[in-house]
Amino acid sequence: MNTQIDQSVLDKANRWLKGRYDEETKKAIRNMMENHPEELVESFYRDLEFGTGGLRGIMGAGSNRMNKYTVGAATQGFANYLKKNFPNRAPIKVAIAHDSRNNSDYFARITANVFSANGIKVFLFDSLRPTPELSFAIRELGCQGGIVITASHNPKEYNGYKAYWEDGGQLISPHDKEVIAEVEKIKDIAEVKFEANNELIEMIGENIDRIYLEKVRSLSLSPEVIQRQKDFKIVYTSLHGTGITLVPDALREFGFENVYLVDEQAVPDGNFPTVKSPNPEEPAALELAIKKAKAVHADLVMATDPDGDRVGIAVRKGDDLVLLNGNQAASLLIYYLLTKWKENNKLTGNEFIVKTIVTSELLADIADKFGVEHFDVLTGFKYIADIIKRYEGKKTFIGGGEESYGYLVGDFVRDKDAVISCSMIAETAAWAADRGIGLYDLLLDIYLEFDLYKEKLVSIVRKGKSGAEEIRQIMDNLRSNPPENLDGSPVVILKDYLEETDKNLETGQTGQITLPKSNVLQFITKDGSKVSVRPSGTEPKIKFYFGVKAHLPQKDDFERISNDLEKKIERIIKDLGM
């Protein structure tokens, strides 16, 4: 048996068997040793690390699993770090929330116990809440940090732990790495203080809900339009997650009176029984909602992920309903926001939007047309939050988004927010309806004005230790042997965000990328096509993002040109040997 497993894995597993872990955990480890060596390797070959979404992993026993001890150690490390950073703050305060996943409430309580045992004041939500409300609560309650227990849209076997700083944004460098360093200093589970000080734990809930919903309602730019379109039909599903706690209320606060829920999915359930995956990026997740929308003849469908920070939509196209991707929804939202800011005479030349480097360049084109500054950031909404923080009091943030269905309007939340997004997307749809068109036609109008942009994401999944090594090899190969041509167009710009270099292959000039180092490569061709490649920070996969565009002369040409662009992407994929 020992010859089948790396000694480092066995050593770590044996430390758990000898340490102060509960008997149930030790029993699971012994079972893996005796009967499931591959599972033992996966459970112990590494420690969970903070990525673009924090700590995330399969639930179970082991250092590479989500369990009482990995959550406890992460919290102890974070507590130690908070004490170092705020030595004169008494008390240090944190807020904690959780989603609908199995064990989320348990992990939230463990987190609260450890913080309180370290003398830190805890504001603990009394039941499940969307992630963005946690971000809001941190700043509203004057906290120095926060935690939300969630694995976002991952399968039901997963859970996770997102850590936030005092600005309400997720941890970024140097805090993320320094928290991990504090966690790694914990060599014995006995160093983790699990015994709660209940006097330092305060339950919160409806009081924060009310303040948050008032802030969301204040974002409305067209209340008079909604009043005229209050019967606009919307179907909403929370996909068994936290969105059900606030999205319907927010839509009512905006003035929408015809909101239909998908009842089968309105009950929070960590097993997500009606979907294969609770991911609004996947068409199957919206099937029940679209079925209901057809039955009630709704014009807009919205689905939020389990922790309520991302939203997928479907819109009416004639007698049918079609799904829009994250780039399209973001483009509609930003176009509406900037149009209304201009109509309401709110643009002063000091406003900005933010998008990620893998999000459609259409957002940048829209911002340019309105004379609004735009920023590009690395993938991960924490980087959008960082830009908002950097320019707080100097410039005005209007909105931002990323292709993976996450958007934000206003700056009182510092993470992607599906409660706000659902409200503002519904308002965008009502605004379009007030003009006699639907969101689908509004999107075509945008394409007529700015060109037809088409994007595609291809993910290659490689699980486990061997998969991580294969993903590393793919990146190494692309870095050392970049493509010279893609679909017959020469690659003219090569961006390496790990090396922080921006090379113009035509002129030979090399510029410096000022964003934080990240393992991302981008290839931009002479005809404007863009390919971005990055390993996922939260899942065992490597992602290829493709972006192409073409002029759209008239709406009747949309299907033909869209198909041409799809074929172009397929040729680029072939050129990359995928």
Catalytic residues: 152
What is the spatial distance between Cα 237 and Cα 220, in angstroms, rounded to a whole number?
22
Which parts of 435-463 fold into alpha helices (H)?
Answer: 439-450
**CA torsion angle 389 392 398 401 (round to 10):** -10
Residues 6+ apart with CB under 8 A from 471: 460, 462, 535, 540, 541, 542
- Complete DSSP assignment for 359-374: S-THHHHHHHHTT-EE
Residues 6+ apart with CB under 8 A from 290: 235, 301, 314, 321
d(CA 535, CA 358): 13
User: How many other C-beta atoms are found inside a 10 Å radius of the C-beta of residue 198?
Assistant: 10
Residue that is written with structure tokens 């060109």 in the block: 451
H or E segment to which residue 294 belongs = helix 287-296
Do strands 145-149 and 93-98 pair parallel, antiparallel, or not at all (unpaired)?
A: parallel
Cross-sheet strand order for the sheet of 396-402:
373-377, 351-356, 396-402, 406-409
- For residue 307, give both structure tokens: 């922790």
